[in-house]
């Protein structure tokens, strides 16, 4: 096989929390009188919470905000988001994703998560994948968000795998860049695939089983 391990981004690949994020940012922005729509929201994909806030604040016209103010706004958004995550269930795990994960595991590959989200463990639990992956590298153990490769490099280290034996699966262009900067090949779905950001640009995660065979 061409690879020994597959490292998955969480949001947009394993499951989708886009709508939960959008509603939480929208509520925070509305409260501040800041214009916010789905076009702006699309710029937040794969970006850390504080970096996302800075993007939203580009259209802010009120009094200057201190670092403490920004931290409170980010926490307000995260509280709204985390509250909504309780609505998630195993129904949020697409059948084709679970089938693909099971097939890859049956092939003997190591499987990991590489996500910038600090809510990763909770989300995995909600969709029935708590403790399922061989390693989870997420916002709780990194200091730099994508396109920095740190989250994927740490996932590979946790798996005990060299970068060139790991395949990254991403839906965001910034995530695909992070994988490449980490010395890994990248298979993309969603926006990243439409932008041709991957070494393979897939219509479905089902294609992974053929890609890893080489």
Name the phi and psi angles at 24, rounded to 5.
Answer: -70, -45
Identify the CA nearest to 117 among candidates 199, 172, 184: 172
Q: Is residue 74 within 8 Å of residue 49, measured between CB atoms? A: yes
Q: What is the number of alpha carbons within 13 Å of residue 62 lying toward its C-beta?
A: 14
Given the residues 9, 138, 171, 191, select the one marked as catalytic: 9
Given the residues 11, 138, 148, 171, select the one marked as catalytic: 11
What distance in Å separates the CA atoms of residue 64 and residue 62, rounded to the nearest whole number? 7
Tokens matching residue 212: 């890893």
Does 11 participate in catalysis according to the annotation? yes
Does 67 participate in catalysis according to the annotation? no
Strands, E, within the chain: which ranges? 5-8, 110-114, 135-137, 166-170, 185-188, 200-201
Q: Which residues are identified as catalytic? A: 9, 11
């Amino acid at each position: 096989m061409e690879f020994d391990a597959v490292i998955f981004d969480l949001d947009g690949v394993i499951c989708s929390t886009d709508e939960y994020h959008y509603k939480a940012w929208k509520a925070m922005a509305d409260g501040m009188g800041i214009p916010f729509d789905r076009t702006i929201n699309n710029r937040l994909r794969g970006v850390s919470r504080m970096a996302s806030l800075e993007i939203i604040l580009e259209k802010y016209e009120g009094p200057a905000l201190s670092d403490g103010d920004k931290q409170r706004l980010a926490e307000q958004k995260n509280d709204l988001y985390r509250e909504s995550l309780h609505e998630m269930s195993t129904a949020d795990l697409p059948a084709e994703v679970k089938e693909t994960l099971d097939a890859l595991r049956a092939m003997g590959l190591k499987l990991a998560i590489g996500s910038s989200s600090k809510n990763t463990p909770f989300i995995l639990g909600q969709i029935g994948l708590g403790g399922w992956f061989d390693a989870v590298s997420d916002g709780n153990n990194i200091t730099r968000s994508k396109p920095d490769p740190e989250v994927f490099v740490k996932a590979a280290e946790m798996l005990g795998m060299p970068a060139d034996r790991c395949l990254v699966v991403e839906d965001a262009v910034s995530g695909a860049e992070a994988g490449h900067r980490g010395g890994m090949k990248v298979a993309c779905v969603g926006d990243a695939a439409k932008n041709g950001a991957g070494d393979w640009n897939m219509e479905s995660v089902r294609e992974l089983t053929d890609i890893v065979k080489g």
